[in-house]
Amino acid sequence: MPMQYRTLGRTGIQVSPYALGTLMFATAMGNAPEESARIIGKALDAGINLIDTADAYGDSEEVVGNALRGRRDEVVLATKFGRPTGQDPNQQGASRRWIVTAVENSLRRLQTDHIDLYQLHRPDPGTDIEETLAALTDLIRSGKVRAIGASQTPASDIIEAQWIAERRGLARLRTEQPPYSLLNRGIEREILPAAQRYGMGVLVWGPLGQGLLTGRVRQDRHNDLRRAGMMRHLTDERRLEVVERLIPLAHEAGIPMTHLAMAFTIAHPDVTSALLGPRTAEHLDDLLAGLEVTLADDVLDRIDEIVPPGTDVGTLDQAYQPPALQNPNLRRRPLTARSAA
């Protein structure tokens, strides 16, 4: 069956419901560039046309750029900026100074003259959003970038960015990239409605719960992932308990756990694409086999009972935490101003 493409927000760009995330293609993650190129080729041959990377993913941009030689025009190429890429404190963030440097670095590594979607990797509270949008607008006008977006943006910041773009005549954020899975449905409360209101495409990451929804991590099994303690969420008992309730549901539906998880994410009408993060060609084959799976209403109702809409079960290790949650001093008055308990 031919790939059924979807429009990326109101950009007019057609993208596949599965997109290829490339964090695992960095050589530091253990994959040889030749194997990563083989996976990318297999994904393109299957009809996946959206590839997402970032300047902070080690040498992932270089691996992707080499793999796309001769096939660049087949791809909607997305990358991100904003996370630290070196020890220099100015080699990060969303200032004009860094953006104009970061985009040139990404273009060189990706071996292309333009980026189809350029995204702010994390919110940068220290930079005025008007400065960021103005710099990104100039990149669009110069032809180096086709569309702009952001990742893990709070709903209030999405709205603020849209208002400023309209009032200042600047380019609008066209996409948002939040985490979304059977375990993390918090974006259904405010993020997805805000994106829908402004016609933004939504590219969700972590649809497999960063490993928990593969069925390989179980509450009663201490496999290598759990023993290594690679990520805190892999040992979060709340999340593991929910997984144990979802596994029988997948079994009753007659599909693998991975297919249940992926079908759930792309079933939401406000989700454009879900990012896959395969480490091997076999992982990609497994996920592609579930592309045509659709979940019946009774299955979706059961999911709603296990994880109510708009709620998160625990927190992903890589999820953005705003300064007010990271810094206790931002939510506590000075001691001298507080009465003694």
Print the SS3 string covering the chain.
CCCCCEECCCCCCEECCEEEECHHHCHHHCCCHHHHHHHHHHHHHCCCCEEECCCCCCCHHHHHHHHCCCCHHHCEEEEEECCCCCCCCCCCCCCHHHHHHHHHHHHHHHCCCCEEEEEECCCCCCCCHHHHHHHHHHHHHHCCEEEEEEECCCHHHHHHHHHHHHHHCCCCEEEEECECCCCECHHHCCHHHHHHHCCCEEEEECCCHHHHHHCCCCCCCCCHHHHHCCCHHHHCHHHHHHHHHHHHHHHHHCCCHHHHHHHHHHHCCCCCEEEECCCCHHHHHHHHCCCCCCCCHHHHHHHHHHCCCCCECCCCCCCCCCHHHHCHHHCCCCHHHCCCC
Q: Which CATH number applies to 6-316: 1.10.10.10, 3.20.20.100, 3.40.1190.20, 3.40.50.620?
A: 3.20.20.100
Distance of alpha carbon 191 from alpha carbon 312, whole angstroms: 13
Buried-exposed string 111-127: b where 16+ CB fall within 10 A, e elsewhere: ebebbbbbbbbbbbeeb
Distance of alpha carbon 81 from alpha carbon 94, whole angstroms: 8
The amino acid sitting at 151 is: S
Q: What is the pLDDT along the chain (341 residues), one digit of tens a residue?
A: 678 999 999 999 999 999 999 999 999 999 999 999 999 999 999 999 999 999 999 999 999 999 999 999 999 999 999 999 989 999 999 999 999 999 999 999 999 999 999 999 999 999 999 999 999 999 999 999 999 999 999 999 999 999 999 999 999 999 999 999 999 999 999 999 999 999 999 999 999 998 899 988 776 665 555 444 455 656 778 999 999 999 999 999 999 999 999 999 999 999 999 999 999 999 999 999 999 999 999 999 999 999 999 999 987 777 888 888 888 888 888 876 555 55
Domain boundaries, the chain: 6-316
* Selected catalytic residue, list 5, 18, 57, 320: 57
Catalytic residue check, 57? yes
Instruction: Quote the pTM value.
Output: 0.92
- Give which of 183, 186, 176, 153 is closest to 271, Cα–Cα: 176
Please, are residues 107 and 115 in contact by the beta-carbon 8 Å criterion? yes
Q: Kindly report the backbone phi and psi dihedral angles of residue 189, in degrees, each rounded to the nearest multiple of 5, phi listed first.
A: -75, -50
Name, in order, each residue with C-beta under 8 angstroms of 24's C-beta and a sequence gap of 6 or more. Answer: 31, 36, 277, 278, 279
* Predicted local distance difference test score (pLDDT) of residue 135: 98
Name, in order, each residue with C-beta under 8 angstroms of 252's C-beta and a sequence gap of 6 or more. Answer: none
Quick one: tokens of 320? 């953005």
